Amino acid sequence: MANNWLIGAALGLGLGLEAASWGAVSSSLPLSLQATAFAVPHAGASALLAVVLQRLLPAHYREPRLAGWFFLFSLGFFVPFLGALGLFTTTLLALYLPKRLRTVPWQTIHIPGLPYRPLLIAPQPLYGEGGIAGVLRNAADPGKRLQAVMATRQMSDAAAIPILRLALKDSTDDVRLLAYAMLSGKEQAINTRIKEQLSRLDAEQDPLTRIQIHQRIATDYWEIAYLGLAEGEVLTHALHTARRYAEWALEKQPDGAGLHFLLGRILLRQGHVAQAHTAFVQAQTLGLPEVELLPYLAEIAFRQRRFHDVRALLRGLDPLARTHPALSGIADYWL
């Protein structure tokens, strides 16, 4: 009862001081005296109303006491009238007239485990490349790292192979062996396709079909190099063979824009920068969209130390294309 009486007295005194401060503003006193006559009672009113408001708050909102009181005092002092009284009114309304919720405002969703097969709940994979790589780097549980490796089965080869190579460095034998088996499976699948195409090539007599087979073989050998499935002499052999089949197909079909584009990528990987540029220009002349060539032309300009052209070429990329993981860092640096 005594506490309630003290709160009521402090509230009444605070409101009286606030009214007195506003009365000083409307008085005929000189301006300097008006400012003093307003500030002193207004400060007292803000201090008293901050004390009253802090006492009305639930206990867990009162801590830390001094900092909480100072915040309420500052709000009331530096926002005259509306600060203290507005906060006081809204707090009372929230305390004594709470909104009654008719439904549960949230529900608990458990974090799903990493999938080991494609999910049918959405057209996109549940976990991205960065998330799975993060699990491999940071998860202490070997079981979760195994699940992360299995989750790469629903990713494209270009995204999955760097993650599998990261898993080859894992401290757990099971994780390393699984990653190695999956990498070997991807390489074996490409080699099987190459053998099948070579068998077809020996038996095929139709010139147009033979051109298509040469292009497929060149693409498969290029994929071995592009995906990082080969190193050293094996990589050199894959690039050389891919170039040989692509050039043979171009001899029979010189107007193939896709073939020129493929040959340009192979030549650029081999380090033949000028020849790669010629192939890319020819692909563009034959109708390949320039936006497909800009990243490769920018790389050629960089290797030829034409740095001004690098910036101009990257600026021509679609803003969405610049967000691709392979380009985002480069675009941010140059642009």
Instruction: For 121-172, give the DSSP string.
Output: S-SS-SS-HHHHHHHHHH---HHHHHHHHHHGGGS-HHHHHHHHHHHTT-SS
Q: How far apart are CA 47 and CA 216, in angstroms?
A: 82
For residues 197 and 141, give the distance between their C-alpha atoms in angstroms, rounded to a whole number. Answer: 43
Q: Could you state, in order of their start, the residue ranges of all structural domains in the chain? A: 2-96
Q: Which of 335, 216, 225 is nearest to 270 (CA)?
A: 225
307's CB contacts (< 8 A; 6+ apart) are 301
What does DSSP assign to residue 307?
H
Cβ–Cβ < 8 Å for 247, 278: no
> Considering the chain, what is the average pLDDT of its residues?
78
- C-alpha pair distances (Å), 255 with each of 218, 246, 260, 289: 17, 13, 8, 15
Check residue 125 and give its pLDDT: 46
pLDDT digits (tens, 9 = 90+) for 276-299: 999 999 998 998 888 888 888 888
Nearest to 321 by CA among 294, 299, 303: 294
For residue 9, the model assigns a pLDDT of 72
Q: pTM of the full predicted structure?
A: 0.57
Task: Give the confidence band of 11 by pLDDT, cuts at 50, 70, 90.
Answer: low
pLDDT at 275 over 90: yes
pLDDT of residue 264 exceeding 80, the answer is yes
Measured CA to CA, the distance from residue 150 to residue 185 in angstroms comes to: 13
Residues 224-253: what's their mean pLDDT? 88
CA distance 133 to 255: 42
CB under 8 Å to 238, separation ≥6 — which residues?
221, 222, 224, 225, 230
Token pair belonging to 1: 């009862």
Confidence of residue 49 (pLDDT cuts 50, 70, 90): confident
Structure tokens given for 130: 């960065």
> What is the percentage of the chain residues whose pLDDT exceeds 70?
75
